[in-house]
């Protein structure tokens, strides 16, 4: 079994998973996997060649013929087993996340839970694939629709949710009858291999779920491979756009979820303590490395000073340190380079005229981990880099708006449109906000409005390329295609030669 390595004696090699077994890579290329809490390299992950991607796709293609024919009741039975095994091993999975991503164990368990919910949704596959039937559309003729799997589908996933985002993809894809090739982030790949082992233990046939490790070489081969029918991607906006454009130009169905800059608008009538708690939780949870993190608070001017004061007074209480120590609430960032890039925004903001209320660089944690404390920047304006860029770290900007309309305009002018939240006690204002705001997921007094598994997740604008949101009903739709059957049975009473265009009778 794949093992968690927290303090390595030697660097662990991390291989591909093809056709139901671990396959060492032959490219001679690999990438480092770090324990961000210690700064030590714990693993070296193989980077696939084109041939290795082809081998994974070939294994998936071979498995598809029989997997698509497995009855819905057998698929359901298998998904209950998968659900049970993932639940039973949720802490093992979470430990991989803490070891390689750095998020604290309680947060890692939360990630696994939100993935499990999508596996549970996929257990409903017999109901989810039910279609429509119209009897007697013409004399003796019935029509019905069916949804069929696409074939081999692939998932390309980001570093920040190494278990949950793959689950959002493979669970509905496989339940629909497809076979799957996953290309996880090269930064924290072990949870994907462990998942492969659990799926095999549950009884999933070899070749239905494959993992290729790697970088752009693997991604590009997936995007152009003629036997890959569809690709789900989650990652940064430039790569999401590239994946969408390249994949669609090769005739594939693509859903590509990109980056975010999520705003939290606080109206004067809001419960300011609730809003401050929410801002701290949503900005600094998982060290801000969440696509649904709140990175901008838009405070109406009359309450801005009070709100900033309430956020500031909460910051010293945020416990930061290694994710395995249960008292900690926030861990390190993913790599040293990313930590340094995030930190550079603090001076940048000051130089551009913002006020640094809290500077995360003042945090000292023993050892060589990639830690950065929480930063709060006030009086940010829309042209500043800390407002324009997705920082993806524990840095919260506060923009002050004179009016509600100015606040909404700020949200709607932003090129991203993933999540957004409003804090208010005014139902009418909240309703108007839901109606006007250009974002895919809206929270009312809820800072991170990730939809439950039976709705679908996705943003607007530069946060999503393609038509389909991920998981939920749109996920089932994405991984299947429609077919409509018009049928009659031999009946001498209705049979005659008629060369005209078919009409209902």
- Footprint of ligand NAD on this chain (CB under 6 A)? 156-161, 165, 183, 185-186, 215-216, 219, 234-236, 239, 257-260, 291, 390, 392, 418, 459, 463
Alpha-helix residue ranges (DSSP H) falling in 325-403:
336-351, 385-388
User: Is 368 within 8 Å of 339 (Cβ atoms)?
Assistant: no
Q: Which residue is nearest to ligand NAD (CB)?
A: 235
Which CB atom, from 186 or from 378, has the smaller least distance to ligand NAD?
186
Give, as one character, the DSSP assignment of residue 117: H
Which residues, other chains included, contact 104 with Cβ-Cβ below 8 Å and sequence gap of 6+? 98, 323, 328, 329, 330, 331
- Active site annotation includes 291: yes
Q: How far is the CB of 90 from ligand NAD (least distance, A)?
A: 20
Which CB atom, from 21 or from 216, has the smaller least distance to ligand NAD?
216
Q: How far is the CB of 475 from ligand NAD (least distance, A)?
A: 13
Which CB atom, from 154 or from 408, has the smaller least distance to ligand NAD?
154
Which CB atom, from 107 or from 186, has the smaller least distance to ligand NAD?
186
User: Is 283 within 8 Å of 274 (Cβ atoms)?
Assistant: no
Which CB atom, from 105 or from 156, has the smaller least distance to ligand NAD?
156
Q: How far is the CB of 294 from ligand NAD (least distance, A)?
A: 13
Which CB atom, from 153 or from 165, has the smaller least distance to ligand NAD?
165
Query: How would you classify the pairing of strands 133-138 and 141-149?
Result: antiparallel
Give, as one character, the DSSP assignment of residue 469: P
Query: How would you classify the pairing of strands 40-46 and 30-35?
Result: antiparallel
Spatial distance between the Cα atoms of 320 and 298, rounded to a whole number of angstroms: 26
Strand partners, 355: 378
Q: How far is the CB of 369 from ligand NAD (least distance, A)?
A: 19
Nearest to 81 by CA among 200, 259, 183: 200
Q: How far is the CB of 471 from ligand NAD (least distance, A)?
A: 10
Which CB atom, from 187 or from 253, has the smaller least distance to ligand NAD?
187
Residue 403 structure tokens: 């009016």
What are phi and psi for residue 129, nearest 5 degrees? Answer: -95, 5
**Tally of CB atoms within 10 A around 75:** 22
Strand partners, 222: none
Nearest to 188 by CA among 83, 85, 293, 286: 286
User: Is 173 within 8 Å of 242 (Cβ atoms)?
Assistant: no
User: Is 39 within 8 Å of 232 (Cβ atoms)?
Assistant: no
Nearest to 18 by CA among 49, 53, 64: 53
Q: How far is the CB of 317 from ligand NAD (least distance, A)?
A: 27
Q: What secondary structure, in 3-state letters, does 395-437 show?
A: EEEEEEECCHHHHHHHHHHCCEECEEEEECCCHHHHHHHHHHC
Which CB atom, from 67 or from 244, has the smaller least distance to ligand NAD?
244
User: Is 204 within 8 Å of 56 (Cβ atoms)?
Assistant: no
What number of CA atoms fall less than 13 Å from residue 481's CA on the CB side?
A: 8
Q: How far is the CB of 298 from ligand NAD (least distance, A)?
A: 19
Q: One of 123, 176, 291, 386 is an active-site residue; which one?
A: 291
Q: How far is the CB of 130 from ligand NAD (least distance, A)?
A: 28
Helix axes 301-314, 272-284, angle to 10 degrees: 60
Q: How far is the CB of 177 from ligand NAD (least distance, A)?
A: 25
Q: Is 142 helix (H, G, I), strand (E, B) or coil?
A: strand
Which CB atom, from 199 or from 219, has the smaller least distance to ligand NAD?
219
Catalytic positions: 291
């Amino acid at each position: 079994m794949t093992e968690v390595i927290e303090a390595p004696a030697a660097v662990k090699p991390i291989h591909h998973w093809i056709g139901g077994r671990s396959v060492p890579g032959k490219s001679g290329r690999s990438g480092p996997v770090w324990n961000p809490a210690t700064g030590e390299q714990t693993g070296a992950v193989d980077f696939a060649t084109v041939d290795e991607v082809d081998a994974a796709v070939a294994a998936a293609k071979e498995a598809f013929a029989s997997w698509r024919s497995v009855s819905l009741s057998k698929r359901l039975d298998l998904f209950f087993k998968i659900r049970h095994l993932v639940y039973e091993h949720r802490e093992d999975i979470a430990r991989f996340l803490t070891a390689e991503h750095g998020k604290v164990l309680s947060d890692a368990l939360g990630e696994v839970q939100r993935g499990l919910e999508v596996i549970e949704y996929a257990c409903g596959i017999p109901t989810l694939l039910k279609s429509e039937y119209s009897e007697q559309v013409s004399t003796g003729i019935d029509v019905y629709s069916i949804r069929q799997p696409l074939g081999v589908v692939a998932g390309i996933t980001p570093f920040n949710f190494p278990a949950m985002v793959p689950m959002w993809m493979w669970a509905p894809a496989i339940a629909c009858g497809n076979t799957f090739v996953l290309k996880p982030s090269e930064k924290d790949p072990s949870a994907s291999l462990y998942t492969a082992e659990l799926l095999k233990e549950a009884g999933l046939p070899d070749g239905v779920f494959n993992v290729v490790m790697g970088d752009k070489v693997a991604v590009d081969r997936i995007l152009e491979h003629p036997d890959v029918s569809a690709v789900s991607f989650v990652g940064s906006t430039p790569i999401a756009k590239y994946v969408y454009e390249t994949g669609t130009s090769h005739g594939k169905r693509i859903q590509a979820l990109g980056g975010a800059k999520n705003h939290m608008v606080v109206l004067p009538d809001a419960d300011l303590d609730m809003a401050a708690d929410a801002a701290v939780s949503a900005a600094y949870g998982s060290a801000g490395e969440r696509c649904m993190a709140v990175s901008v608070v838009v405070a109406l001017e009359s309450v801005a000073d009070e709100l900033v004061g309430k956020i500031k007074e909460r910051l010293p209480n945020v416990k930061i340190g290694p994710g395995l120590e249960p008292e900690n609430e926030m861990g390190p960032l993913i790599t040293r380079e990313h930590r340094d890039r995030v930190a550079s925004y603090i001076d940048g903001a000051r130089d551009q005229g913002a006020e640094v209320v809290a500077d995360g660089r003042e945090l000292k944690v023993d050892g060589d981990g990639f830690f950065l404390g929480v930063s709060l920047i006030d009086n940010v304006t829309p042209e500043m880099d800390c407002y324009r860029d997705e920082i993806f770290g524990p840095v919260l900007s506060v923009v002050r708006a004179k009016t509600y309309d100015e606040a909404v305009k700020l949200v709607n002018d932003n090129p991203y449109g993933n999540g957004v939240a409003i804090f208010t006690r005014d139902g009418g204002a909240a309703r108007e906000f839901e109606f006007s705001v250009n974002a895919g997921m809206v929270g009312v007094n809820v800072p991170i409005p990730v939809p439950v598994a039976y709705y679908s997740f996705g943003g607007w604008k530069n946060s999503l390329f393609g038509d389909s949101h991920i998981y939920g009903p749109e996920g089932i739709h994405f991984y299947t295609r429609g077919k409509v059957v018009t049928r009659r049975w031999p009946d001498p009473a209705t049979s005659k030669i008629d060369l005209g265009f078919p009409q209902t009778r």
